A and B are shown apart, each in its own frame.
Chain A
Amino acid sequence: MVEHRPILNLLSHLVLLLGVALVAFPVWIAFVASTHAPHDLLTGVVPLLPGDHLVENYRDVLFRGVSTSGAPPIALMLGNSLVMALGIALGKIAISLLSAFAIVYFRFPFRIAIFWLIFITLMLPVEVRILPTFEITAQLGLLNSYGGLILPLIASATATFLFRQFFMTVPEELAEAARIDGAGPLKFFRDILLPLSRTNIAALFVILFIYGWNQYLWPLIVTTSESYYTIVMGIQRLVTVADQLPQWHYVMATTVLAMLPPVVVIVVMQRLFVKGLVETEK
């Protein structure tokens, strides 16, 4: 702040409040719609204030499912999403930690080649190789399984890079001391490197959890059985129902439930989230 300009300050706050409204408005309307009875959402305009069907709408979607769309109870989809998000986040972190450790703390033939192989995955998002990846997943018998949902997505160049960068900043003396004291590589990894990486792991976890939770295309392709639907892809089945109007109060209740977990994660772990975001993009 260089000079005092009350009008500009006021204007700044106004713009920011406008931004907040822009960000919050769609979600508010979704929440409002999810608390109304079906007939309130058939004609005219969506009300602006919550109705009195909150408890029953959420109870219905969570435990009974929406029969007209053939959707299973949302509680099941939430569970699947949780398994998928946790599996992807933890899986990526685990395999990236190990390979980054190998690349930084060992010299071995093909080290550079391996590094490049991992690096290439950056250039191959699932969207550009869907059909062949689907075929291979099918051949491995992984369709309609948690393995199929998780495994093809857990190779991550960014996580490996992040850990490599971090390991490079760990003082040489630590490894030296560990070696003098007779600690092997695995002991050094477990007792020194892992505890030091705690913050990085947590920050990355926040980002990867959201990445996993929000997956859409991949679950859409590998699941045909309702018992493996994830919530983010499940919404689509409620919206695009054939030959009838979507049941908006259920759709919106599902939408609110689908965005709640990742939003809570971000708001609660904001500091870690920002750190993770900035570092993975470096």
Chain B
Amino acid sequence: MQTKRVVFRHTFLPYLLCLPQLAITLVFFIWPALQAIRQSMLQQDAFGLSTTFVGLANFRTLLRDPSYLSSVHVTIIFSVATAALAMSLALLFAVVADRVIRGTNTYRTVLIWPYAVAPAVAGVLWYFLFNPSIGIATYALAQLGIDFNPVISSTDALIMVVIAAAWKQVSYNFLFFLAGLQAIPNSVFEAAAIDGAGPMKRFWTIVLPLLSPTTFFLLVVNMVYAFFETFAIIHATTQGGPGQSTSILVYKVWRDGFVAQDLGGSAAQSVVLMTIVIALTVIQFRFVERRVEY
């Protein structure tokens, strides 16, 4: 890793400068992570009096636990649906916003502010719209003959949290898609138009392939978002229910650790989650290196 050609010479100053960041990293990041790994291999007795080393037993229990497996299942459906919905809507809006000559900036301003809305707030907003007794969206659906009730129906609850999670994420994806589109040189489109390609053909054969780096980057970001940042949406609205139908992995870690007080199990889940983040981060970084070629 490079430094400047001209560097300052000092024996202890650089350490002093790094000290605050290092202290916080060690105390609040590295140490807890190591603790999580250690605890994941321990088991407490029923009274919390003694702990024994059990190796990978917690992981084995976890992988056999039907409620954990169902949580994995829910998380996959939830994150794929959220990413797909948020990205396809964002792409649609970005493509048309890039098309219009007047008002691109105005539209951008009006479309990006949900980025600032907290996931918890987004959840509550949609929870209110889909409220079974007074929600306006439920009412509209009832007029169409659809009985929508996220309090009772598992499917409806999952649909509601997906919509809330995607709603908040559209603006972020929109910004990146728009930036990606604006980076494509106009001459490419002109050449294609002269060759007789219509707007739809141009979209499928030029825009989409050229946007693939952006799309891939956003896919990873959206997965990370759906995996980790949506805890608030679940916790503030469905609380994982009805039943376990919206209990995503992050929610389960919190519940098992803080409500059910299952330290070993929660720690094992933390370790699994850590592995997922590390994998996603590695993928993202490999991709960042590749993106330079474009």
Interface residues of A (CB under 8 A from B): 1-3, 5, 8-9, 11-13, 15-16, 19-20, 22-24, 26-27, 29-30, 33, 41-46, 48, 94-96, 98-99, 101-108, 111-112, 114-115, 117-118, 120-125, 127-137, 140, 151-152, 154-155, 160, 167-168, 172, 175-176, 179, 184-186, 188, 210, 213-214, 216-217, 220-221, 232-233, 235-236, 239-240, 248, 251-252, 255, 258-259, 262-263, 265-267, 270, 273-274, 277-278, 281-282
Contact = CB atoms under 8 A, between A and B. Distances in A.
A102 B176 CA distance: 32
Contact of A16 (B7, B97, B273): B97
A84 to B, nearest CB: 12
B14 A102 contact: yes
A270 B112 contact: yes
B135 interface: yes
Consensus secondary structure, chain B interface: helix
A125 B277 contact: yes
Given A12-B97, A128-B277, 11 more contacts: A43-B134, A48-B136, A98-B20, A102-B14, A112-B1, A127-B229, A132-B31, A133-B28, A136-B27, A140-B27, A281-B176
A121 B36 contact: no
B242 interface: no
- Nearest 8 CB-CB pairs, A to B? A132-B32, A132-B35, A214-B118, A216-B232, A262-B116, A102-B17, A106-B14, A12-B96
Interface centre among B6, B26, B92, B237 (most CB of A within 10 A): B6
A258 B121 contact: yes
Contacts of B113: 23, 263, 266-267
Interface in B261-285: 263, 266-267, 270, 273-274, 277-278, 281
Given A46-B134, A105-B7, A129-B36, A2 B189 contact: yes
A87 to B, nearest CB: 13
A136 B3 contact: no
Contacts of B89: 19, 22
A258 B236 CA distance: 14
23 contacts: A9-B101, A13-B96, A22-B167, A23-B111, A26-B122, A26-B125, A26-B128, A29-B128, A99-B20, A104-B4, A106-B3, A106-B7, A106-B9, A124-B32, A124-B274, A128-B253, A140-B27, A214-B118, A216-B119, A235-B124, A255-B124, A273-B112, A281-B217
In this complex, the interface size class of chain B, counting residues with CB under 8 Å from chain A, is: 35 or more
B32 A136 contact: yes
B69 interface: no
Nearest to B97: A16
Interface in B250-264: 250, 253-254, 257-258, 263
Nearest to A156: B21
Given A16-B93, A131-B263, A270-B109, A262 B117 contact: yes
Contacts of B11: 108
B30 A258 contact: no
Contact of A101 (B6, B17, B30, B274): B17
B17 A98 contact: yes
Contacts of A130: 253-254, 257-258, 270
Interface centre among A26, A240, A273 (most CB of B within 10 A): A26
Contact of B6 (A46, A172, A282): A172
A135 to B, nearest CB: 7
B107 A16 contact: yes
A220 B235 contact: yes
Given A216-B235, A217-B232, A131 B281 contact: no
A48 B129 CA distance: 12
A96 B171 CA distance: 27
B4 A118 contact: no
B60 interface: no
Contacts of A9: 99-101
Contacts of B93: 15-16, 19
B120 interface: yes
B15 A3 contact: no
B24 interface: yes
Contact of A23 (B32, B171, B231): B171
B258 A99 contact: no
A252 B25 contact: no
Given A12-B96, A96-B21, A213 B118 contact: yes
